[in-house]
Amino acid sequence: MYILDGKAYSQDIEKELSIEVDKLNSLNIFPCLCVILVGNNAASLSYVTMKHKACSRIGIESRIIRFDENISQDDLLNEICKLNNDKNVNGILVQLPLPKHINSNTILESIDINKDVDGFHPYNMGKLFCNLDSFLPATPLGIMMLLNHYKIDIKGKDVVIVGASNIVGKPLASLMLNAGASVSICHILTKDVSKFTKDADIVCVGVGKALMLSDNMVKDGAIVIDIGINKLDDGSIVGDVDFINVSKKTSYITPVPGGVGPMTISALLLNTINATKIQHKVVK
């Protein structure tokens, strides 16, 4: 069994990306990411802080713009409009989830498609669906980069994705399909998830339920990608996979922490640099 070490690979990526930032700086271009955080959700605050620190490590300016959870939808739209029009801002990311009184789709649709480093705008999602060049959502992109790094061929593989969110499951399914896999997506209404997972070559799980994927749900030699991050009562962080038992059967598996999480951050940094290059017409 091999560990798909997202932490180690993301450190290599950061070294390469910081060289890209230096090159942009030498052209008098200074990439800038704005992260909007509404309210005080502890998990969101921790994710946003990690993104901010990663930007600092490679020389990207990052601004965290925080709003009270009672901000109106119109006020939030106004703030995004200002960032869309600010030439010094290259990437805009609205941390999800948003409070219930705000329509997330309306907010995501208001982001300039060329600054949409999360790839959540329906325009960019549609381009992904059509297998056209676009900003790709960070977690699915990070997973594909990790598989590619370990030379795992996806063509013709049976892939099962457990979780059908717009953030991870659906875009990941599109990327896998575009890469030549046969893809099944399981979700909350799936009658028997194990019926799908037990024959799959690659199982990706992102449902936010600790130890959801057990060893009797995967075949020998399977590749398992754990997208979950769950905090247990004792404060420890675990994924959605029963790592100790499942890893005994797998050929490759991602750990939590140190697997998909750091790759998500690297993918966001890459998207921010690419957005900057597109806006400044710098050849990639």
Under the criterion CB under 6 A, does residue 139 sit at the interface with ligand GUN?
yes
Under the criterion CB under 6 A, does residue 95 sit at the interface with ligand GUN?
yes
**158 part of the active site:** no
CB of 95 to ligand GUN, least distance (A): 5
Under the criterion CB under 6 A, does residue 38 sit at the interface with ligand GUN?
no
- Candidates 94-102, 140-148, 197-205, 253-261; binding stretch for ligand GUN (CB under 6 A): 94-102
CB of 132 to ligand GUN, least distance (A): 21
**155 part of the active site:** no
List Cα–Cα distances, 259 to 4, 47, 85, 149, in angstroms: 7, 15, 36, 13
**95 part of the active site:** yes
Under the criterion CB under 6 A, does residue 93 sit at the interface with ligand GUN?
yes
Annotated catalytic residue: which of 5, 112, 118, 240?
118
Question: What is the distance of C-alpha 229 from the center of its chain?
Answer: 13
Rg of the chain on CA atoms, in Å: 19
CB of 248 to ligand GUN, least distance (A): 30
Under the criterion CB under 6 A, does residue 143 sit at the interface with ligand GUN?
no
Which residue in the set 13, 17, 94, 212 belongs to the binding site for ligand GUN (CB under 6 A)?
94
CB of 165 to ligand GUN, least distance (A): 9
Under the criterion CB under 6 A, does residue 54 sit at the interface with ligand GUN?
no
List residues bridging with 238 in a β-sheet: 230
Residues found in the chain: 284
Under the criterion CB under 6 A, does residue 272 sit at the interface with ligand GUN?
no
List residues bridging with 161 in a β-sheet: 185, 204
Under the criterion CB under 6 A, does residue 50 sit at the interface with ligand GUN?
no
Annotated catalytic residue: which of 5, 95, 112, 226?
95
Under the criterion CB under 6 A, does residue 92 sit at the interface with ligand GUN?
no
Under the criterion CB under 6 A, does residue 164 sit at the interface with ligand GUN?
no
Under the criterion CB under 6 A, does residue 165 sit at the interface with ligand GUN?
no
Residues noted as catalytic: 51, 95, 118
For ligand GUN, the binding residues (CB under 6 A) are: 93-96, 118, 138-139, 167
